Structure 1
Amino acid sequence: MRKQFAIIGLGRFGSSICKELYHMGHEVFAIDTDEKKVEAVRGLATQTFVGNGTDENLLEQIGIRNFDHVIIAIGDDIQASILTTLHIKDHNVPNVWVKAQNDYHHKVLEKIGADRIFHPEKEMGSRIAAYLTSDTVLDYIDLSADYSIIEMLATKKVAGKTLVDLDPRKNFGCTIIAIKRAGKVDVTPDPSAPLNAGDILIMIGDKRDLRRFREGQL
C-alpha cells in the first residue's frame, strides 16, 4: 500500500530512509535546512523542501497533518528536534518517529509524545556485536532494552531434532515464531517436523534467554 512519509533531517540516517522508502514506491517529502543535502536527494524523493521543521508555516504549507508518518532525523540540534516533534504532534500526525541523540533526549521525546524513538548508532552497535560474537546470528532487531527478535542459523547440532525436542519456551523462555527454509517463511511450523542444518530460526524473547538458547543448542 502506497503511503505518505515526511522526513525532516537529511543526514546519513534521514537520507538513507528517504531513498529506501522512495524506491519502495511510497510518496516521500524530504526536508532539511541545508540546501546541499536537499539537492542530494532530489530525484530520490517525491518532493523536496529547504526549510526548518520548527517553522509552522512550512508545516502548514506541505500539509503535514495529511501524512501517515513523519520521521524526524535531525542531527545534533536537540532543541530543533524537540520543537519539531512538538509542532508535528500538535498537527495530530498518527505516527511520529524521532531519532534521539542520547538518553536525556529520549526521555524528553517520550514525554512530548513521540510514537517511536530511534537510536541508530546504538541499535547498529547491538547488531554488529551480535554478528561478531556468533557465526549463527543472521539478523537482530531490538524491541526494547530487554527483548529482541533474532534470526539464528540452525547447525548440524540440531539437525533431525524437532521443536518438540528443543522446547525453547520451556527450557529457555524464548519462542520460535517462524522458520525460514529455501527462501520461504513458515509462520506455523510443524512442531514435530525435523529441522535441517541451514534452516533459519526466527525467535523472540529476552536477550539473555536467546543467548542461552544459542549457546546451549546451536
Structure 2
Amino acid sequence: MTNCLIVDDEAPARALLIQHLSTLSGFTVLAALDNAVDAFTFLQTHPVDLAFLDIQLPKLSGLDLIRSLKTRPKIILTTAYREYAATAFDLDVLDYLVKPITQERFMRAVSKYMQLQNIPDIPVQIASRYEETYMFFKVGRDQTKIFLKDIIFMEGFADYIKVHTKDKAYIASEKLGYMEEKLPEDKFIRVHKSFIIAWDKLISYNADQVNLVNQTLPLGRLYKGAFFRKIQSGHIRLS
C-alpha cells in the first residue's frame, strides 16, 4: 500500500487529486491538508510514501517545505505556475504537474513513482498452447486479463500503452519498451518507436509501412533491419 499526502490550499484541487487517486488500487490518502506548516508536522509522525504538494501555500511555500525536510517522501508538485520547474527539479522532485491536472498526466506522474518502487512485473501465464497464453494489464484500477492471441498491435504513449485487440482497445500503465522485452519475440515485433505488432495479424508490408487488419502503421527507419531480417529468415510466414 502506498500512503499519500495531499497539500493544497484550494479545496477543489484537493478533491480532484483525491478523485484521481481513487481510481488506483494500492494507494490511500492519509490526509489532505491546506497548508505546508500542518504538512510538516504531519510528516514527522506519519509514514508518507508519496506527497502531492502545491507550491503557492500560506505561511510556508511548498518549495520551502521540501527544503525543511530531512527525510522526504517522494514528491509530485502540483501548481498553476510553470516558472518554478527548474528550481523544483533541483530539489529532486519526482514530477511537476501544472494545473489543471488531467487524469492522463496524473497517471504518467504516478507511473514514475511505481517504476521507482519496482512494482511487480505484469503477470504472464504461459500455456502449453499459445492460444491460451495471457497477460494481466493494469487498466484503471483493475488488473485486466488479455489473451495474446487477441492482440493486434500495441501503441506507446510515454508511460502508457494502448493495447488494440479484435474487440476493443485498453489503456494500460506500462512502457512500450518494457512490453517489447516481455512479449514472445516469435509472436510480436516492434516496427516503430510507437508500435509493436502481432506477427499473425500482419497482412502485407512495403518499405515504409505494415498493413494489419483494418490498420496501416508506419515502419520506422530504426526497425526496418530487424523486421526484414525476420521476414527473410522464413521464421515468420504470411498466410
Relative to the length of structure 1, the TM-score reads 0.45
Relative to the length of structure 2, the TM-score reads 0.42
Structure with greater proportional strand content: 2
